[in-house]
Amino acid sequence: MTALENREPAAGSAADTLLRVDDLHVSFKGRGRARKVRAVNGVSFELGRSETVGLVGESGSGKSTVGRAIMRLIPADSGRVQLDGRELLSLGRSELRAARKDVQMVFQDPYSSMNPAMVVADVIGEPLDVQAGMGRSERNTRVAELLEAVGLSQRHIERYPYEFSGGQRQRIAIARALANHPKVVILDEAVSALDVSTQNQIINLLEDLQAETGVSMLFIAHDLAVVRHIARRTVVIYLGQVMEVGPSERIFEHPAHPYAEALLSAVPVPNPEIQRRRERVVLRGEPPDPTNLPLGCPFVTRCRYAMDVCADTMPELTPVDGGGLVACHLQTAGPNLAGRSLDALGVEAEPIVPPTR
Ligand SMILES: Nc1ncnc2c1ncn2[C@@H]1O[C@H](COP(=O)(O)OP(=O)(O)OP(=O)(O)O)[C@@H](O)[C@H]1O
Ligand code: SF4
Ligand SMILES: [Mg+2]
């Protein structure tokens, strides 16, 4: 039984699934004689039609690797990635070229993925030449349409990327990603380098474009406040494993995983009662070495609730009240929260040092 089958229907899943990632594993060869870097270790989640899902976690947790593996920019060791029921990981080269049209990616620094010698008409128009085989005048009409959709004007069409601000360049990258009417756009820290007001403009733009086109978005970000705003559901990953997944509102107000609690403790909550109750939980220490993962729960070395069982047994994903799934022994062993969030706990304990595998 796979991780996604082993749970209650709709607990952490999309209403109308478009993209389904199941038990994805990705590793990189270690340097020299070093062991391999286990960047993604069994990640599963779903993205619905016209839905935005947030993917959050600390630096190095494997967020970009998940995005890149879905895009097949890097190979997966195992797992499944289905788009509209079609398996992407086993596609041959020519089928993959056609499928790439449906899944696009926008990066933190679009400048590095734009050819600086190309004018905007070509930056945005290139995928139309390559994938849609459009003629020049049809292509230019579409480029003008896309520029308008992202809030730029036709007079920008003959300018070079360096002539734009960071926010404008991100608009160009979004226009390019949307050029061929993709089903999914993966935004990897797409607003992280922008100032707050430009971030807000881009977020509003993305929401408008989603309402118009119905595109689904996987929104990868460090900034949890931004994710809460844009994503209906959120996936929290740590050391390449899903710790918690569920409706953003429930996770942000009532996290069930100690890692989610720690990540979120610094994010303001609109509800003043919850804000008052929420203590600032300091996330101690660094994540373990991804070439030498803990045997049990990956968060055990930093968790303030860690118990003996956590050190040698990996917790299963279990349903949470209010929607979603959490991988934590607090739900089943120890205080047995049985689906309740961490609000129900008053327990504190010292972290313990786990054996490694
Ligand atoms: N090409 C690579 N070769 C070797 N290791 C890699 C490679 N790319 C990523 N890694 C490692 O895989 C792990 C996950 O990296 P990844 O870039 O996916 O994290 P991330 O969550 O996107 O982090 P950030 O928030 O800093 O972008 C890290 O330990 C990283 O060092
Ligand atoms: S399983 Fe144990 S160590 Fe892991 S998050 Fe839950 S309480 Fe903490
Ligand atoms: Mg990244």
CA of 115 to the centre of ligand 2 (A): 46
Ligand 2 neighbour 238 (Cβ under 6 A): no
Nearest atom in ligand 2 to 331's CA: 6
Q: DSSP secondary-structure letter at 5?
A: T
Q: How far apart are CA 300 and CA 34, in angstroms?
A: 24
Annotate 162-184 with b (16+ C-beta within 10 A) or e (fewer): eebebbbbbbbbbbbbbbbebbb
CB 306 within 8 A of CB 77: no
Residue having the nearest C-alpha atom to atom 24 of ligand 1: 59
pLDDT digits (tens, 9 = 90+) for 68-92: 999 999 999 999 999 999 999 999 9
Ligand 2 neighbour 315 (Cβ under 6 A): yes
Q: How far apart are CA 172 and CA 179, in angstroms?
A: 10
Q: How far apart are CA 204 and CA 149, in angstroms?
A: 12
Ligand 2 neighbour 303 (Cβ under 6 A): yes
On average, the pLDDT of the chain sits at 88
Q: How far apart are CA 327 and CA 245, in angstroms?
A: 9
Of residues 148, 142, 144, the one with CA closest to residue 127: 142
Q: Which residues line the pocket of ligand 1, CB cutoff 6 A?
A: 28, 37, 39, 57, 59-65, 222, 290
Three-state DSSP at 280 gives: coil
Residue 349 pLDDT level (bands cut at 50, 70, 90): very low
Q: How far apart are CA 276 and CA 279, in angstroms?
A: 8
**Residue from 300, 301, 348 whose mutation best tests the ligand 2 pocket (most atoms within 8 A of CB):** 300
CB 128 within 8 A of CB 146: no
pLDDT digits (tens, 9 = 90+) for 236-289: 999 999 999 999 999 998 999 999 999 988 787 777 777 666 667 778 778 889
Q: How far apart are CA 2 and CA 82, in angstroms?
A: 14
Ligand 2 neighbour 256 (Cβ under 6 A): no
pLDDT digits (tens, 9 = 90+) for 129-153: 876 677 888 888 999 999 999 999 9
Residue having the nearest C-alpha atom to atom 4 of ligand 1: 28
Q: How far apart are CA 35 and CA 291, in angstroms?
A: 6
Output the CA torsion sign for 54, 67, 124, 178. negative
Residue having the nearest C-alpha atom to atom 25 of ligand 1: 59
CA of 279 to the centre of ligand 2 (A): 18
Residue having the nearest C-alpha atom to atom 17 of ligand 1: 64
pLDDT number for residue 223:
84
Provide the edge-to-edge strand list for the sheet that holds 216-220.
103-106, 184-188, 216-220, 52-56, 233-238, 241-247, 325-327, 317-319
Q: How far apart are CA 59 and CA 302, in angstroms?
A: 15
Residue 4: pLDDT over 60: no
CA of 81 to the centre of ligand 3 (A): 19
CB 159 within 8 A of CB 117: no
Q: How far apart are CA 2 and CA 299, in angstroms?
A: 22
pLDDT number for residue 131:
66
Beta bridge partners of 106: 187
Q: How far apart are CA 142 and CA 149, in angstroms?
A: 10
CATH numbers and ranges of domains, the chain: 1-102+182-357 (3.40.50.300)
**Residue from 259, 303, 320 whose mutation best tests the ligand 2 pocket (most atoms within 8 A of CB):** 303
Place of tokens 């007001």: 197
Q: Which stretch of 159-168, 270-279, 295-304, 314-323 has the lowest confidence by average pLDDT? A: 270-279
Query: Which range among 11-15, 99-103, 234-238, 347-351 has the greatest average pLDDT?
Result: 234-238
CB 199 within 8 A of CB 226: yes
Phi, psi of 219 (to 5 degrees): -105, 105
CA of 27 to the centre of ligand 1 (A): 10
pLDDT number for residue 1:
41
